[in-house]
Amino acid sequence: MRNEMTALPQDQMGISNKSSLSNTFPRQTAARFIPKSALALVCIVLAGTRMLPGQHTVANAPRGQEQSQFSVELVPIRRPVSLSGAALSVLSHDERVASCLESLGLRPEQLPADWFTASEIHLDGPGERDLIVSPSGPLDGPPRNDCLVGANTAQFWVLRKTPEGYALVLSQIAHNLDVLRTRTNGLRDIRLQAVVSLQVATIHYRFNGHSYELVGQAHRSCLKYEPSVVKLTGTLIRQTFPGPPNYESVRKGDRPETAWLLVLASPVCVDVDKGDPELNPAKNW
């Protein structure tokens, strides 16, 4: 992989070490473009499917007709529920949401509730009220949530209700999200779909006991650093980052710098560069 392209995890086609998004979780990746560089977007990398360890069963149909199919364009959330302050607090620490807040000069506690729409779902059973969350909109006025939406895709978040509060167990960009009747380790499986290069890409996630994990991720083939040339496919989005003098916070006076990012259609990994392992370590994006 050429060094002109760096990857910014948006855990996220995701999770922080204080939530269900971790460094080993399949993450949405945004490849940041350095000026005068170019990237060919011509193919899709999909992880192979396999059964994850853990019990895999078929769920009983939940009581009532809860919504289990969601789409950016075709299937809106039919019975929206309000997001509590606890749920918004968890969302504010998602990397993509946090980046959007930073670009607008907003603090985590200022996360607008109208950026999102949510639907109740029962991942474990009738006694557990979990949430499927997607961006709302389009919004008429600022602050806008455009940074959470791509071309025919948007970010989806899955929040699980635990005794300690909400846990973010999946953050991923897609066109469709389906909550399936099959279960792994107690929670219902999830299927995501997106249209990439005129092809429908489908990936499956199963609960590993802590968060949702991409099926077959442990056995996927990893990319190589340069001189290897790689071809990636995804969605181009534009995002703003803090620039000079401190590269820390636009709200604190750093100059905003806008860059084009490539949100990958599916997670990838990169093997360590044995010639320079400190500069080019193994990565999961």
Please state the rounded mean pLDDT for residues 157-174: 94
CA 19 – CA 94 distance, rounded (Å): 9
The alpha carbon of residue 46 and the mean position of all alpha carbons in its chain are separated, in whole angstroms, by 16
Q: Which of 194, 167, 190 is nearest to 179 (CA)?
A: 190
Q: Summarize pLDDT for 39-91 with one digit per residue, the tens.
A: 333 333 333 333 333 455 554 444 457 899 999 876 778 899 999 999 999 99
Q: How far is CA 200 from CA 44, 92, 175, 180, 212, in A?
A: 10, 30, 10, 18, 21
* 200 — pLDDT class (breaks 50, 70, 90): confident
Range with top average pLDDT, 8-22, 132-146, 165-179, 199-213: 165-179
Q: Summarize pLDDT for 4-33 with one digit per residue, the tens.
A: 333 333 333 333 333 333 333 233 334 433
Cβ–Cβ under 8 Å, residues 259 and 32:
yes
> What's the confidence (pLDDT) of residue 139?
61
Angle at 31 between CA 27 and CA 33, to 5 degrees: 165
Q: Which residue has the tokens 């899709």?
A: 44
Please state the rounded mean pLDDT for residues 207-236: 78
Please state the rounded mean pLDDT for residues 169-194: 93
Q: Which residue has the higher pLDDT, 240 or 189?
A: 189
- The half-sphere exposure of 102 on its side-chain side, counting CA atoms within 13 A, is 20
pTM of the model: 0.60
Residue 243 has pLDDT above 70, yes or no: yes
Provide the 8-state DSSP code for 242: E
> What's the confidence (pLDDT) of residue 76?
78
Cβ–Cβ under 8 Å, residues 42 and 32:
no
Q: Summarize pLDDT for 125-153 with one digit per residue, the tens.
A: 888 899 999 998 766 667 788 888 877 78
